[in-house]
């Protein structure tokens, strides 16, 4: 299915860019006139996904992160957060609540947060090649009356 609108940003995995990614996606989604809660959900999920790339994908260095957001019919928003870093060996284990390779600084709850704040979460990863996290969120109809999408 063809997207009605889309955007793409690429930036280095610096922690100062987490806010940029979160705000860029939020600004893009604003055209659907989302409810405050819906926007908070999207910002939170994107923040966790991008933070994971910043913290885990490129140990000891930096690499690129690409965030794409697409709007489809019926208020469906799809967001992809992609890196070309170390990848995740065991996705199922990584997604378990409290699992972390990040030591004491991390709580291992990022994927759980994404799962509860997005309507759909998909993780694709290959060791040494990188990771793609796909988040989907539906923006409710009542907030789109009179809107293009
Ligand atoms: N983009 C990524 N590249 C490589 N490994 C990742 C990536 N995202 C997640 N992981 C792995 O999955 C684990 C679980 O991620 P999750 O976000 O749930 O927890 P966390 O990042 O460790 O802690 P928290 O998000 O609570 O600060 C990470 O510890 C890491 O091992
Ligand atoms: Mg995390």
Answer whether residue 147 is part of any domain. no
Residue 131 in contact with ligand 1 by CB distance below 6 A:
yes
As for how many domains the chain has, the answer is 1
Answer whether residue 100 is part of any domain. yes
Residue 54 in contact with ligand 1 by CB distance below 6 A:
no
With cut-offs at 50, 70 and 90, classify the pLDDT of residue 147. low
Active site residue 84: no
Q: How far apart are CA 5 and CA 19, in angstroms?
A: 22
pTM confidence score? 0.95
Residues within 5 A (CB) of ion ligand 2: 52, 110
Name the active-site residue from 18, 22, 38, 52: 52
Determine the pLDDT at residue 1. 84
What's the average model confidence in pLDDT over 79-89? 98
Name the active-site residue from 18, 22, 43, 48: 48
Answer whether residue 148 is part of any domain. no
**Cα–ligand 2 centroid distance for 77 (angstroms):** 22
Answer whether residue 36 is part of any domain. yes
| DSSP 8-state symbol, 149 | -
Contact (CB, 8 A) for 131 and 53: yes
Residue 86 in contact with ligand 1 by CB distance below 6 A:
yes
At 37, which helix (H) or strand (E)?
Answer: helix 36-52
Q: What is the CATH number of the domain that holds 98?
A: 3.30.565.10
Question: Containing domain of residue 48, as a range?
Answer: 5-141
Answer whether residue 104 is part of any domain. yes
pLDDT by residue (tens digit) across 40-69?
Answer: 999 999 999 999 999 999 999 999 999 999
């Amino acid at each position: 299915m063809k997207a009605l609108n889309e955007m793409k940003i690429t930036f280095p995995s610096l922690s100062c860019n987490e806010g940029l990614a979160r705000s860029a996606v939020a600004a893009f989604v604003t055209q659907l006139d989302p409810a405050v809660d819906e926007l908070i959900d999207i910002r939170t999920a994107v923040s966790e996904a991008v933070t994971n790339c910043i913290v885990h994908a490129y140990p000891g260095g930096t690499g690129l992160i690409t965030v794409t957001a697409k709007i489809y019919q019926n208020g469906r928003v799809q967001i992809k957060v992609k890196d070309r870093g170390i990848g995740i060996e065991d996705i199922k284990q990584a997604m378990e609540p409290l699992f972390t390779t990040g030591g004491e600084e991390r709580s291992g709850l990022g994927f759980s947060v994404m799962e509860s704040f997005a309507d759909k979460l998909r993780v694709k990863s290959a060791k040494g090649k990188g990771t793609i996290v796909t988040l989907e969120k539906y923006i409710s109809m009542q907030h789109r009356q009179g809107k293009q999408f």
